[in-house]
Amino acid sequence: MTPIDIVTYAVPFFVALVLAEMVWAARRAPDKYEPRDTFTSLALGLGSTVAGALAAGGIWFAAMWLYDHRVATVPLAWWAWALCFVLDDFNYYLFHRSGHRVRWFWASHVNHHTSQHYNLSTALRQTWTGPLAGSFLFRIWPAFIGFHPAMILTVGAVNLVYQFWIHTEAIGRMPRWFEALFNTPSHHRVHHATNPLYLDRNYAGVFIVWDRLFGTFQRERDDLPIRYGTVKQLGSFHLLHAAFHEWRAMLGDVWCAPWRHKLSYLVRAPGWSHDGSREGSDAIRARWVQRRGIE
């Protein structure tokens, strides 16, 4: 059994929807697309595809090694596919939360957040260094408990395809029952925001229930217009800078730090510093909430 390459099949639909949204934006909201920003997003997406293809063999080998040493065997039944999908989405939540809370993973994930625009091209603004960072380990471990790697990688691709459509401002809010269960454009706009109240919230892939369960959910507020990007904006459309700037910054901090603090610059949250000269998202959010007196 081999994984179904759903993402490749979906690419024409991605392109068609980006073009459709560009037409919509040209008529309704011209500022939603910026040509240089869109080019950077598309180029990062192409580079991510190449990096993923180069790493695919190694990831498949690692997953099959786990499966060969599995402690049980899960059948290829419909219920197993459903269970695998839910488990993979939970793993995505853990991976995505780690991508914001551990600087090593943030160095790989940050480029997805560097656009100050929020449109369907932003969904394609993906990492070139995910395999290097080891993020795939969050997704393939179920092979050890008996899920076939092809099943794991296929449902993971479905998860990725689902997340494409939520990167838009063209859709307001979905019906209340849908907003309660699933990740939506409204929820994910919050995730991409730099407003203090919205920082490090809504990590979900498909099911927003993980954020509701683990205290990381924040609804989009009508009285708080969203600002997109990162706390410290990238300030450049240079492709290589967009792809590697945080790796350079992180490794520079490791190089300059005292020996006893070097590891902390890799495993602690972005914004942490050994001398307290910087501020992380928790402190920024807490200070803002205290000042405004809202949740």
What per-residue confidence (pLDDT) applies to 292? 80
pLDDT given at position 179? 98
Angle of helix 239-256 relative to helix 35-68, nearest 10 degrees, comes to 60
pLDDT values of the chain reduced to their tens digit, one per residue, 295 residues: 778 788 888 989 999 999 999 999 999 888 899 999 999 999 999 999 999 999 999 999 999 999 999 999 999 999 999 999 999 999 999 999 999 999 999 999 999 999 999 999 999 999 999 999 999 999 999 999 999 999 999 999 999 999 999 999 999 999 999 999 999 999 999 999 999 999 999 999 999 999 999 999 999 999 999 999 999 999 999 999 999 999 999 999 999 999 999 999 999 999 999 999 999 999 999 999 888 876 5
The backbone torsions φ and ψ at residue 136, rounded to the nearest 5 degrees and listed phi first, read -65, -20
3-state secondary structure of 228: strand
pLDDT the model gives residue 2: 76
pLDDT of 295 reads 56
Measured CA to CA in angstroms, residue 125 lies from 56, 162, 198, 247 at distances of: 19, 15, 20, 17
Q: Both tokens of residue 194?
A: 């730099």
**Global pTM?**
0.95
Q: What is the DSSP string of 73-98?
A: ---S-HHHHHHHHHHHHHHHHHHHHH
Question: Count H helices, E strands: the chain?
Answer: 14, 0
Q: What's the pLDDT score for residue 161? A: 97
**pLDDT for res 90:** 99
pLDDT at 294: 62
Which amino acid would we find at residue 70? R
Rounded Cα distance between 20 and 15, Å, is 9
State phi, psi for 208 to the nearest 5 degrees. -70, -10
**What distance lies between CA 217 and its chain's CA centroid?**
15
The tokens for 244 are 């590697």
- Distance between alpha carbon 212 and the CA centroid of its chain, in Å? 18
Q: How far apart are CA 107 and CA 236, in angstroms?
A: 17
